[in-house]
Amino acid sequence: MKLFQKLLVAPAALGLLAPLAANAAEVNINDVAGYATPTAGVTTAQFSDVVPGDWAYTALQNLSESYGCVDNAYTQNLKSGQALTRYEAAALVNACLEGGIASADVNGDATRLSNEFGTEMAILKGRVDGLEYKVQELSAGQFSSSTKMSGGAVFTTGFADLDGATVDDNKLTSQYAFTLDLNTSFTGSDNLYAGLEQGNSATVANDDGLRLDSASDNANLSVTSLFYSWPVGDFQLTAGPLVDADDVISATTSLYSGSFRLAAMPWGVDGDVTGVGAAGSWANDNGFNASFATISEEGNDSAQGIYTAEGSDHYVASLGYDSDDNWGIGLIYTNDDNESAATGSDTSFGAGVYYTPDGFPTISVAYDSIDYGDSTNDSENNWLVGLDHEWGPGTASLAIQRTDDGATKGTNYEVYYDYPVNDGVSVKAGFYSESAVGTQAEDTNAYIVETTFSF
């Protein structure tokens, strides 16, 4: 039998069952009292204060001191000799009985107080139950408390000048991209990730940095990544039906932002490769880290299958070291098994180093190469040197990239300034130039202003 059943003389004392009784001090007593009217069974005498000298006041003091009631405003009032309203006294009785008294310790004062303030305790319970019901209604259908949503919208506006183009260009153009990221944890150490994207920017379609010389269709919002990660000892494992090749790469080969147009490691860190995947990563406190991931690009197709002779599989391994002295190095190796005698398997190798000296720009140097594995295509390589420097309220960035496809060499560069308007809005303004290399038909010069909204 519960404690309140031993204390009750009137059914009104069911207020001791209130789930929030231990925190009854948090209820706005004045507002609750305002709801009580004589028609609700409350007499005028019940609105009188409990003052020093009353038996109830002395009993409340004894109850509070004997059983270590919650140290709230009402116990402070008792210690300082201030009067209490009957609803404040009822809340204090609830807190004391629920928080500090065992059934065997019930005394006459506790029983008498529960009888005296039983009506007020019942009114408190009714109001608290109503509040709980409203809270449950509001909470229904909301995200789990373990689910966090973030995202962003990007507006890109500017001119793209295609040297030697046979069509008109250099017209003012505007594109956009919209993304949502959902992260859900079920144990506190695991994570279910879902990435959604929509837009008409080539950034969304190709994940290769913003550009205005090409665009994608205004596609519907779609799930672009979906995987689950969980720890096993010192390892973090990842698996899912939509894994990008760059989702699990532990090595850091560059600190250059790469958010404007040029980016390091075009083949080693390739976000265009997506499919059924599994990966594992490891890191220790000394700064060393390693990872391995495998992606089956046609794993959702029963005619191709996962890791079969008919499908295309992608493997990426990385090894890195991040020093406590503001520098680090990373190595990345990839293999694309196309399972085709005509094209063979592509392999790439890349390496990068970064350094962040105090008071100077952050320096990143990265090298990446690819061998197409057949006689019809030459190998390619790519060098990038990037600088990021805090200047005024924002960050100034500069990058120079050297590309070589075996037949043609080209130099690309960009310069831009990233200005944070506030915590959720930033504006980038700058210029990039790309030489025509490989399948790129014309040299490209673009002048761009990009606004990013993050939430």
The CATH number for 179's domain is 2.40.160.10
Tally the domains of the chain: 2
CB contact burial 382-410 (16+ within 10 A = b; e otherwise) = bbbbbbbeeeeebbbbbbebbbbbeeeeb
Structure tokens at 291: 């990872």
pTM: 0.64
pLDDT, mean of residues 248-256:
93
Q: Do 240 and 313 belong to one domain?
A: yes
From the list 113, 15, 124, the residue with the least C-alpha distance to 56 is 113
Under 8 Å between Cβ of 34 and 84: no
Q: How many helices and strands (H and E) does the chain possess? A: 8, 16
Residues 150 and 183: their CA atoms lie apart, in Å, by 9
Residues 298 and 37: their CA atoms lie apart, in Å, by 71
CA neighbours within 13 Å on the CB side: how many for 239? Answer: 4
Q: Do 195 and 344 belong to one domain?
A: yes
91, 110, 139 - which closes a domain: 139
Q: What is the pLDDT of residue 337?
A: 78
Q: What is the pLDDT of residue 29?
A: 44
Pairing state between β 380-391 and 173-184? unpaired
The single-letter code of the amino acid at 68 is: G
Pairing state between β 274-283 and 288-296? antiparallel
Q: What is the pLDDT of residue 122?
A: 74
Q: Do 71 and 24 belong to one domain?
A: yes
| 196 pLDDT more than 70 | yes
pLDDT-derived band at 362, boundaries 50, 70, 90: very high
Q: Do 360 and 385 belong to one domain?
A: yes
Under 8 Å between Cβ of 280 and 238: yes
111, 139, 167 - which closes a domain: 139
Q: Which domain holds residue 438?
A: 147-454
Tell me the per-residue pLDDT of 414-432, one tens digit each, with 9 for 90 and over: 999 999 999 999 999 999 9
Q: Do 132 and 210 belong to one domain?
A: no
Q: Do 176 and 298 belong to one domain?
A: yes
Collect all residues with Cβ–Cβ distance below 8 Å to 165 and sequence separation of at least 6. Answer: 441, 442
| 409 pLDDT more than 70 | yes
From the list 112, 142, 87, 108, the residue with the least C-alpha distance to 10 is 112
139, 159, 186 - which closes a domain: 139
User: Which run of H or E residues covers position 228?
Assistant: strand 222-232
Q: Do 35 and 15 belong to one domain?
A: yes
Percent pLDDT > 90 in the chain is 34
* Residue 406, beta-bridge partner list: none
| 442 pLDDT more than 80 | no
Q: Do 263 and 327 belong to one domain?
A: yes
Q: How many CB atoms lie within 10 A of CB 167?
A: 5
Question: CA-CA distances (angstroms) from residue 113 to 3, 104, 277, 359?
Answer: 14, 17, 66, 70
